[in-house]
A and B are shown apart, each in its own frame.
Chain A
Amino acid sequence: MKTNYLFPNRLRPTGWILLTIGIVLGFIYLFYGYEIPGLEINALSLFPNEGRSIIQIEKTNITDELATIVYIIGALLVGFSKEKIEDEYIAKIRLESLLWATYATLGGQLVGTILLYEFTYLYFIFIIPPLFLLIFIICYYTRIHLLKSKSDEK
């Protein structure tokens, strides 16, 4: 079976490393306000809140940007790299996991929209896209693990 648009299996370990770094860095940034010293750069900022220009140069620490980028690349490699033996049943499990992750994330957003307001809601909205990938990964790997352990019993 030809399954396109997936990363090669050998990139998966790299993905796990990046994902772990992204989660740890993102976590300590969000909850402890930690910023890696020396990462202050003059960044290009489009459509800034203040000022009238649409482009602005802003001095900023890029710890959070770094964490986001590393997390997204890691999650994509972990979630969308091929299995050692990739076949149509695996593809079906992957698609079903995506469906469940979509339901779970958007369901969560529905509840959040009703219950959360002001900055809490803003923070919540920030974490929805990365949360979607994480739920998908958990769902997919759980099903693959169950499949392997169940078929080993027989």
Chain B
Amino acid sequence: MKNNIRVERAILKITQQELADRIGVSRQTINAIEGEKYVPSTLLALKMAKVFNKPVEAFFWLEETD
């Protein structure tokens, strides 16, 4: 699964730490999600959607191998 959370963060001008604080996770977790080492739960994805004010599909999408 791919994502462009880094871009969405840049649009809002918030750091990994600020995004982490807003959705209640550690900064390392945001880093792992952005690095595509970890696929978050639906709960976290929806919380991110709230922060970015966009639907989940706008920043997460499936790859052909998924």
Contacts and interface: CB of A to CB of B under 8 A. Distances in A.
21 contacts: A1-B24, A1-B41, A83-B26, A84-B26, A85-B20, A85-B25, A87-B25, A88-B25, A88-B29, A88-B40, A88-B41, A89-B26, A89-B29, A89-B32, A89-B40, A147-B28, A148-B28, A150-B31, A151-B28, A154-B31, A154-B35
A86 B48 CA distance: 17
B11 interface: no
Nearest to B31: A151
Interface string B8-45: 00000000000010001111110111010010110110
A151 B24 CA distance: 17
Interface of A: 1, 83-85, 87-90, 92, 147-148, 150-151, 154
B25 A147 contact: no
Dominant SS at the A interface? Answer: helix
B15 to A, nearest CB: 11
B38 A92 contact: yes
A87 B43 CA distance: 12
A147 B24 contact: no
Given A1-B43, A151-B32, A87 B26 contact: yes
Q: Pick the 4 closest A-B CB pairs, nearest first.
A: A151-B31, A87-B25, A89-B29, A85-B26
Nearest to B27: A151
A87 B24 contact: yes
Nearest to B20: A85
B9 to A, nearest CB: 13
